[in-house]
């Protein structure tokens, strides 16, 4: 199986034994406590679950700037986005202390991790601007990822972490949330050697379904990993539980048995377009996948990125930066001429009117009114799941 990024084996930061967890929580009673933001909590889940191998914890100032400017860790290893614990709070601890990090997304002041404080550093306004511009390609605060980063504060707490739990993800998404370790183990037990990963933060319509099928066929894959984001999205996006049901319904009805693995991961969407596509590749490599499908406007939002910027960025990084390969996908839609879903670049004789294309706004409008989606656009079983959600709103 493909090796993890920068390591011979996964390096999850989750506490391994119940005894160790109990001992850490006992010692945490005398530690300073810090309520972290949702982005930092999501980073901890990814560190704990092995997705961020080989990181040991939160980055310091020099490393954050190096990652933003050059996509390199202090040791020179490729890494595309900062992994930080930022705060605007006044801190009551010092360098060298151990602190208990409180999960903001769970009631009852639950400790999600223990952090060894390496450094406490301030980022200047111009340094934050530079980081944001390099990572997101814009400083426009109407971009949801940019706004989230600016809101986190200017005090950077770096250091190694011991993660105690996976926040709310295991409880709320027990059927779907999986660590990188669990996914690797499942791939191994199935005997799969060539796996294609499909990233999604949306329900899957027929175009997505066929794209997975096309990619699997073209690279001769043993199986498909549908890997859905379970964390925080922007307002108006479909909740994770509804997406989960819709995707499972589609796979049950329209894919061969034991060809698709449906899983999810606990991370908040960055909407960072090209940089986030690179990050997606890192943690799919850590999952044991050989290919990641990168489609049109992958991980984008609004009009902030060009349609294929997230594909082009892979051509600009060193060949040895990642072991995983990219399956570059064009926009996929149902052809009225051919009566099947096609990749638009494969049918040069088509005009726009030859395709069944609906905007997200139009889809939401139809579902809210109880109108059926065209069968060429969405499978009826999937449309029914989504309609129930929109009719309840």
What is the total residue count of the chain? 393
Q: Is 171 exposed, middle or buried (0-12, 13-18, 19+ CB in 10 A)?
A: exposed
Query: Catalytic: which of 118, 194, 202, 364?
Result: 202
Question: What's the whole-model pTM score?
Answer: 0.95
Give Dmax (Cα) for the chain: 70
- pLDDT the model gives residue 181: 98
Domains of the chain: 18-167 (3.10.400.10), 175-265+271-392 (3.40.50.620)
Helices 61-70 & 125-136 angle (0-180, nearest 10): 40
Q: Which long-range contacts (CB under 8 A, 24 or more apart) does 358-364 make?
A: 364/390
Name the token pair of 324.
């995983």
Across-strand partners of 115? 99, 161
CA 46, CA 49: separation in Å to the nearest integer?
5
Cα separations (Å) of 62 from 82, 125, 152? 11, 15, 18
Q: Any residues with CB less than 8 A from the CB of 76 and at least 6 apart, and which?
A: none
- CA dihedral sign, ordered 364, 369, 370, 372: negative
Which three-class secondary structure state does DSSP give residue 171?
helix
CA 358, CA 365: separation in Å to the nearest integer?
11
Name the token pair of 97.
């202390």
- CA dihedral sign, ordered 287, 285, 106, 298: negative
- pLDDT the model gives residue 392: 78
- pLDDT the model gives residue 178: 98
CA 309, CA 3: separation in Å to the nearest integer?
27
Per-residue burial over 95-113, b = 16 or more CB atoms within 10 Å of its CB, e = otherwise = eeebbbbbbbbeeeeebbb
Query: Catalytic: which of 184, 201, 243, 284?
Result: 201
CA 220, CA 333: separation in Å to the nearest integer?
22
Q: End-to-end CA distance of the chain, in Å? A: 44
Across-strand partners of 226? 198, 262
- pLDDT the model gives residue 393: 64
Is 178 a residue of the active site? no
CA 164, CA 161: separation in Å to the nearest integer?
9
Residue ranges in the chain modelled with pLDDT below 70: 393
Per-residue burial over 27-37, b = 16 or more CB atoms within 10 Å of its CB, e = otherwise = ebeebeebebb
Name the token pair of 148.
């989230």
Is 165 a residue of the active site? no
């Amino acid at each position: 199986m493909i090796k993890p990024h920068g390591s011979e084996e996964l390096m999850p930061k989750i506490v391994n034994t119940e005894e160790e967890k109990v001992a850490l929580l006992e010692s945490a009673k005398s530690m300073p406590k810090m309520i972290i933001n949702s982005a930092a909590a999501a980073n901890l889940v990814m560190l704990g679950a092995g997705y961020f191998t080989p990181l040991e914890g939160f980055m310091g100032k020099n490393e954050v700037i190096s990652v933003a400017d050059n996509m390199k860790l202090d040791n020179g290893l490729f890494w595309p986005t900062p992994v930080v614990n930022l705060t605007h709070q006044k801190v009551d601890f010092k360098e060298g202390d151990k602190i208990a990090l409180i999960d903001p997304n769970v009631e009852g002041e639950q400790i999600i991790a223990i952090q060894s404080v390496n450094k406490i550093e301030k980022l200047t306004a111009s340094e934050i601007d530079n980081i944001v511009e390099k990572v997101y390609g814009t400083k426009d605060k109407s971009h949801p990822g940019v706004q989230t980063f600016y809101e986190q504060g200017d005090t950077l707490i770096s250091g190694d972490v011991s993660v105690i739990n996976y926040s709310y993800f295991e409880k709320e998404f027990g059927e779907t949330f999986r660590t990188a370790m669990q996914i690797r183990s499942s791939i191994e037990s199935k005997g799969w050697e060539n796996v294609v990963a499909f990233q999604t933060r949306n329900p899957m319509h027929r175009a997505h379904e066929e794209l997975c099928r096309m990619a699997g066929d073209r690279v001769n894959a043993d199986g498909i990993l549908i890997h859905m984001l379970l964390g925080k999205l922007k307002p108006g996006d479909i909740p994770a539980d509804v997406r989960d049901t819709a995707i499972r319904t589609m796979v049950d009805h329209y894919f061969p048995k034991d060809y698709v693995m449906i899983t999810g991961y606990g991370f908040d969407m960055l909407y960072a377009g090209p940089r986030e596509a690179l990050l997606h590749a890192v943690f799919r490599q850590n999952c044991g996948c050989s290919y990641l499908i990168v489609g049109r406007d992958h991980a984008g939002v609004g009009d902030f990125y060009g349609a294929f910027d997230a594909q082009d960025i892979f051509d600009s990084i060193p060949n040895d930066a990642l072991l995983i390969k990219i399956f570059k996908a064009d926009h996929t839609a149902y052809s009225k001429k051919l009566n099947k879903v096609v990749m638009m670049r494969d049918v040069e004789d088509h005009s726009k009117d030859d395709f069944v294309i609906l905007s997200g706004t139009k889809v939401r409008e139809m579902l809210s009114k109880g109108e059926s989606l065209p069968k060429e656009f969405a499978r009826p079983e999937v449309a029914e799941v989504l309609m129930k959600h929109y009719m309840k709103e």
